[in-house]
A and B are shown apart, each in its own frame.
Chain A
Amino acid sequence: MNGARPIAEDDLQAFVDQALEPKRRSEVEAYLDGHPEAAARIRALVQQREALRAALAPVADEPLPPELNLARLIEMRRRPFLPSLRIAAVAALCLVLGGGAGWFMHGSLVRPESGIALLAREAADNYAVYGADRRHPVEIRAENSAELLGWISQRLGHAVAVPDLAASGYRFMGGRVVATPQGPAGLLMYDDDHGTRLVMLMRPMASQQDTPMSRQDHGPVTGFAWADGGIGYSLVGQTAPETLHPLADEVRRQIGKRI
């Protein structure tokens, strides 16, 4: 005891919780050295803390039940207007109305798009807006790729790179961050010598599950979408699927190499 502040109960508690600064900690240790009874009590409390942590640790290791999947809970909150009763009512109405139109509605209402199908739609929508834009198709041009990638990586919380499609005749034009119902997405745009543009959209997916590539057309826009490592990718363009598919494979191959 070197004339320091007297040791109080709060100091002893903080000692047990390892919440003291080093200086105060050594003062408490010195105090405990001189007070065996207090030292015994503190030892018991330290043991108690360790035992509590050990006894409860297994709970945190249990696999999460699906009800506690946060991505799913967020997703469900976005579509609160599709309780099963409502779906049933809509389906019944459609059947009553009958005909092709009714069936078409039924399909679109009962199975709201999600996963990469939703991503592909977002890509097609963005293609329609930015792919047709002659003045400002991209916000940051290819020559400032580093700035663009920094921006997209930061908004997606995931490092991204630009796939190189030059060997297939497509030049990288640049890109931007765009809005989707799932949050920000990165948009990269390419074109070829004929001015044919391709758009690649990427964003984090609600599910971490990898999804194999599939064709996702929306009207005249052809698309291929997949998910790898929690990020979904969709390459779209008004291009024949036979042309687009190998490009999508190439993009996927280049991204996969980086992972």
Chain B
Amino acid sequence: MNDMMRLVEPLIPALRRYARALAGDRATADDLVQDCLERAISRWHQRRPDGDARTWVFTILHNLAVNRMRQKARRGTHVALDSIEETALARAPSQDERLRHRDLLRALDTLSEEHRSVLLLVAVEDLSYAAAAKVLGVPVGTVMSRLSRAREKLLATIDQDGDGLTRPSLRRVK
């Protein structure tokens, strides 16, 4: 378990970030991360010791998050992304920056779960394409094509919403 402390503990902030961006609100996201850590603890001995712990833990989290979102979708609830900018920051962003970030996250929220996850894993969490493919359970080629489409869609969404500074309340539904 010392191994686990060494390899998994430093990942927790990134796991929270991924869960929050994927699942929306803080409570749901932290709940997912807790589930993920509990599973990781109970399955630690089953993982291939030569495998990458990061990819392995992200896979657990991703599967939990996707299941949770599908359950929620069936029940017809949608949770909007919590306002991240309200949290205590080491370096406070400017008002402009904050609004831009909020709009970007809202636009992200309108993407499909497949597009959001690939974009987050690669662009934010710095997973390699091969690692992202493992987490998502798809071939690398699929990662590449989804990534390209996700980026285009996000660009288009932001463009449609204007520069995002003046119309922060507009929000499109998938």
Q: Which residues of A contact B (CB under 8 A)?
A: 9-10, 13-14, 16-17, 19, 44-45, 48-49, 51-62, 64-65, 67-68, 70-71, 73-74, 77, 156-157, 182-184, 204
Contact = CB atoms under 8 A, between A and B. Distances in A.
Interface of B: 1-2, 4-6, 8-9, 12-14, 16-17, 20-21, 30, 33-34, 37-38, 41-42, 84-85, 87-90, 93, 97, 100-102, 104-105, 108, 119-120, 122-124, 128-129, 144, 147-148, 151, 154-155, 158
A59 B104 contact: no
B2 A204 contact: yes
30 contacts: A13-B144, A16-B151, A17-B122, A45-B155, A48-B104, A48-B158, A53-B123, A53-B124, A54-B97, A54-B101, A55-B84, A56-B84, A57-B17, A58-B85, A59-B13, A59-B17, A59-B21, A59-B84, A60-B17, A61-B90, A62-B13, A65-B30, A67-B30, A70-B4, A70-B5, A70-B37, A73-B37, A74-B41, A183-B1, A204-B2
Nearest to B122: A17
Contacts, number: 117
A67 B33 CA distance: 9
B6 to A, nearest CB: 6
Given A13-B147, A59-B16, A70-B12, 10 more contacts: A48-B104, A48-B151, A48-B158, A52-B104, A52-B120, A59-B20, A68-B37, A70-B41, A77-B42, A204-B2
Nearest to A73: B37
A52 B124 contact: yes
Contact of B148 (A9, A55, A65): A9
A64 to B, nearest CB: 6
Contacts of B85: 58
A188 B44 CA distance: 30
A68 B151 contact: no
Given A52-B104, A55-B101, A182 B12 contact: no
Given A19-B128, A59-B17, A77 B38 contact: yes
